[in-house]
């Protein structure tokens, strides 16, 4: 048998903790029911027994073990078939997420012109994505975008590849987003906040072509 790892030690300890002999006269059934009663009303005999306390902790580990087992089973599954993935993608309505209408001004009073919030999010995403190493996550437009002239604050989550300068990447993403918003909308922008949400490790690639 290999040298005990912290994991295997705690596994062995978990098993031992639940040995009925270690429960000061109480049973696993009792402890289990006590847990599901959310430890109320307080059972002083159980609460004052070290063996029971250890056992209750061990029983709590079962959640972690169950989740771990599922993850292991999932990892052993073959990767989802492209056709299975595609049939999900086919069922998705891609026109969703239009969001609010952001007005565009026109001298005529009978004109109703707008750009959709969804279009603007897509615009911001593409702008941020164009910065090397940056992937844009969620973009939110805070404030009432349907009211012309209303000051709007933008928040953008980004992921930056390991090795890129974070401040630099965030600044460049901000500038690119700002330029596009200026070009395509009439929004009054108070601020654009970029949050680096994630720093990701990327596999080295032989060639990566990024148009800019």
Site for another protein in 64-93 (CB under 8 A): 65-75, 77, 79-80, 84-85, 87-89, 91-93
How far is Cα 206 from Cα 44, in angstroms, rounded to an integer?
65
Residues 169-198 that bind another protein (CB under 8 A): 183-186, 197-198
DSSP secondary structure string, 124-151?
HHHHHHTSTTEEEEEEEEES-TTSTT-E
- The smaller minimum CB distance to another protein, of residues 32 and 143, is found at 32
Is 150 near another protein (CB under 8 A)?
A: no
Contact with another protein (CB under 8 A) among 22, 51, 54, 59: 59
**Residue (27 or 45) nearer to another protein, CB:** 27
Return the number of other C-beta atoms located less than 10 Å from residue 208's C-beta.
8
What is the distance in angstroms between the CA of the first residue and the CA of the last residue of the chain?
57
Number of residues engaging another protein in binding (CB under 8 A): 87
Nearest distance from residue 179's CB to another protein, in Å?
Answer: 12
8-state DSSP, 79: P
């Amino acid at each position: 048998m290999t040298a005990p790892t912290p994991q295997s030690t705690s596994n062995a300890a978990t098993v031992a903790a639940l040995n009925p002999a270690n429960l000061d006269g109480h049973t696993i059934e009792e402890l289990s029911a006590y847990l599901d009663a959310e430890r109320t009303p307080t059972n002083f005999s159980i609460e004052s027994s070290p063996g029971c306390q250890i056992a209750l902790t061990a029983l709590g580990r079962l959640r972690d073990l169950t989740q771990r087992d599922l993850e292991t089973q999932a990892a052993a599954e073959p990767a989802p078939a492209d056709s299975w993935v595609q049939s999900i993608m086919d069922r998705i309505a891609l026109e969703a997420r239009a969001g609010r209408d952001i007005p565009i001004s026109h001298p005529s009073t009978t004109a109703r012109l707008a750009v959709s919030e969804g279009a603007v999010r897509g615009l911001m995403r593409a702008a941020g994505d164009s910065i090397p190493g940056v992937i844009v996550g969620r973009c939110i437009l805070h404030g009432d975008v349907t009211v012309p002239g209303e000051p709007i604050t933008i928040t953008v989550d980004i992921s930056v590849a390991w090795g890129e300068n974070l401040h630099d990447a965030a600044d460049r993403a901000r500038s690119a987003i700002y330029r596009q918003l200026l070009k395509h909308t009439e929004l009054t922008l108070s601020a654009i906040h970029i949050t680096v949400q994630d720093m990701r490790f990327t596999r080295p690639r032989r060639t990566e072509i990024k148009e800019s």
